[in-house]
């Protein structure tokens, strides 16, 4: 950790840091954590100090080779950048964003996800839209993209673990899709379901986790201008590690709310169960808006660190997107 200057709160002793091999060592870990009541999810969602280890590795990777797959993704032509969403911070380098991911289906090691997604196929891909809607449909991803107003938006992204990035997503506002499928009046929530393929996603072979990954939003949140369904990043189609071929981007919420590699969007009357909320409800709430004044039970949320550069910024309420969303919560 010598060449990286860590703020004091990140200088947590090695003993306090969740060992990186817990994923393979779950039984041991459970025994260890039993008394603390953190369980498996406590291991999966490491502390910021643990994430910090990944940053260090990551810095080394930055000087290294780009992933072989880079450049093989379809370029998105005629992409218009929406000037209302400029990111307001230096953009994260593409390599940094590509090589530091949360995608527990593949591994809990953030700097290795990009190497573990080899067998993932984003094509062919269908997305089912169902539940309480007038026009349920199964879309081929290409047809869906063609039917939607695709544009580019630079969004900040804030993980609950305190790392952050600024990336140019390409996609469409979720409300454009919602209008097409016409939810019934009694639909109050949207539920997102990620892919399920244990053959290629080793994390899913752990039966103690509530696979597939699911997330949810209230209908008002789903219809908000900011709620974006991304199909691309940095001007090309999404690579697997970012949630190809379709993922959610809700930049005022912690990153775990943005489900990746979605196969289904379902409209429901009652609040849907979600992956992290099911695992540790007192740490990962359904709403989970970014808020520096509400600490995570195991760490402060006052600051965040950009992947790639390591720059530290104070965390803003709603991740700085209050102009669009504060009204939802008054």
Ligand X SMILES: Nc1nc2c(c(=O)[nH]1)N[C@H]1C(S)=C(S)[C@@H](COP(=O)(O)O)O[C@H]1N2
Rank residues 141 and 259 by Cβ distance to ligand X and give the closer one.
259
The smaller minimum CB distance to ligand X, of residues 101 and 224, is found at: 101
Instruction: Tell me which of Mo ion, ligand X, none is bound by residue 234, counting a contact when its beta carbon lies within the kind-specific cut-off of 5 to 8 angstroms.
Output: none
Q: Is 54 in the site for Mo ion (CB under 5 A)?
A: no
> Should residue 243 be labelled a site residue for Mo ion when binding is judged by CB under 5 A?
no
CB of 105 to ligand X, least distance (A): 6
231 binds ligand X per the rule CB under 6 A? no
> How far from each other are the two terminal CA atoms of the chain, in whole angstroms?
43
Would you give the binding string for Mo ion spanning residues 102-131, x where CB under 5 A is met? x-----------------------------
Contact map string, positions 137 to 166, toward ligand X, x by CB under 6 A: ----------------------x-------
- Binding residue for ligand X (CB under 6 A) from 18, 194, 277, 301? 194
Check if the beta carbon of residue 167 is closer than 8 Å to that of residue 99: no
Helical (H) or strand (E) element with 222: helix 219-222
Based on the shown chain and the rule CB under 6 A, indicate whether residue 120 belongs to the binding site for ligand X.
no
**Nearest-CA neighbor of 230 among 253, 257, 256, 261?**
261
Q: Give the residue carrying structure tokens 């063609």.
A: 146
Q: Which is nearer to Mo ion, 183 or 255 (CB)?
A: 255
Contact call for residue 211 and ligand X (CB under 6 A): no
Structure tokens at 77: 């032509």
Nearest residue to 110 (alpha-carbon basis) of 96, 89, 92: 96
* Selected range binding ligand X among 64-72, 80-88, 142-150, 250-258, rule: CB under 6 A: 250-258
Residues 47 and 24: their CA atoms lie apart, in Å, by 18
Q: Which residues contact 232 (CB under 8 A, 6 or more apart)?
A: 76, 79, 150, 152, 169, 170, 171, 238
The yes or no reply on residue 105 touching ligand X (CB under 6 A) is: yes
Rg (CA), the chain: 19
- Cα gap 143→54, rounded to integer Å: 38
Structure tokens at 249: 């981007």
242 vs 305, which CB is nearer to ligand X? 242
Q: Is 204 in the site for Mo ion (CB under 5 A)?
A: no
Question: What CA–CA distance (Å, rounded) separates 174 from 223?
Answer: 7
Out of 212, 255, 272, 308, the residue judged to bind Mo ion by CB under 5 A: 255
Secondary structure (3-state) at 194? strand
Smallest distance from the beta carbon of 80 to Mo ion, in angstroms? 29
**Residues 134, 172: Cα–Cα separation, whole Å:** 21
Report which DSSP code applies to 186.
Answer: T
Report the partner that residue 139 touches, choosing among Mo ion, ligand X, none (CB closer than 5 to 8 A by kind). Answer: none
- Could you give the 3-state DSSP secondary structure of residue 191? strand
| 253 is an interface residue for ligand X by CB under 6 A | no
Q: Which stretch binds ligand X (CB under 6 A): 15-23, 147-155, 254-262, 317-325?
A: 254-262
Binding site for ligand X (CB under 6 A): 101-105, 159, 194, 213, 242-243, 255-256, 258-261
Binding site for Mo ion (CB under 5 A): 102, 159, 255-256
């Amino acid at each position: 950790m010598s060449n990286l200057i860590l703020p004091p709160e990140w200088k947590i002793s090695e003993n306090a840091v969740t060992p990186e091999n817990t994923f393979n060592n779950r039984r041991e870990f459970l025994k260890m954590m039993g008394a603390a009541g953190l369980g498996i999810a406590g291991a999966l969602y490491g502390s910021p100090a643990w994430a910090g280890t990944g940053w260090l590795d990551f810095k080394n990777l930055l000087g290294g080779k780009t992933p072989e797959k880079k450049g093989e993704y379809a370029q998105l032509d005629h992409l218009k950048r929406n000037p209302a969403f400029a990111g307001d911070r230096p953009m994260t380098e593409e390599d940094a964003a590509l090589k530091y991911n949360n995608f527990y289906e593949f591994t809990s090691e953030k700097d290795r996800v990009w190497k573990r997604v080899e067998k993932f196929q984003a094509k062919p891909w269908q997305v089912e839209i169902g539940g309480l809607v007038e026009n349920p449909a199964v879309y081929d991803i290409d047809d869906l993209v063609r039917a939607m107003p695709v544009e580019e938006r630079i969004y900040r992204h804030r993980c609950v673990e305190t790392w952050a990035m600024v990336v140019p997503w390409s996609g469409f506002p979720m409300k454009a899709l919602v209008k097409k499928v016409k939810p019934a009046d009694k639909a109050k929530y949207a539920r997102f379901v990620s892919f399920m393929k244990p053959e290629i996603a080793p994390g899913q072979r752990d039966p103690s986790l509530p696979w597939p990954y699911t997330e949810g939003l209230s209908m008002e949140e789903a219809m908000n201008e900011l709620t974006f369904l991304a199909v691309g990043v940095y001007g090309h189609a999404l690579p697997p590690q970012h949630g190809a071929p379709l993922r959610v981007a809700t930049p005022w919420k912690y990153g775990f709310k943005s489900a990746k590699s979605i196969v289904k969007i379902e409209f429901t009357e009652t609040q849907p169960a979600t992956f992290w909320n099911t695992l540790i409800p007192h740490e990962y709430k359904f709403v989970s808006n970014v808020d520096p004044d509400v600490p995570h039970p195991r760490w402060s949320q006052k600051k965040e660190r950009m992947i790639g550069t390591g720059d530290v910024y104070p965390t803003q309420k709603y991740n700085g997107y209050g102009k669009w969303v504060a009204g939802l919560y008054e």
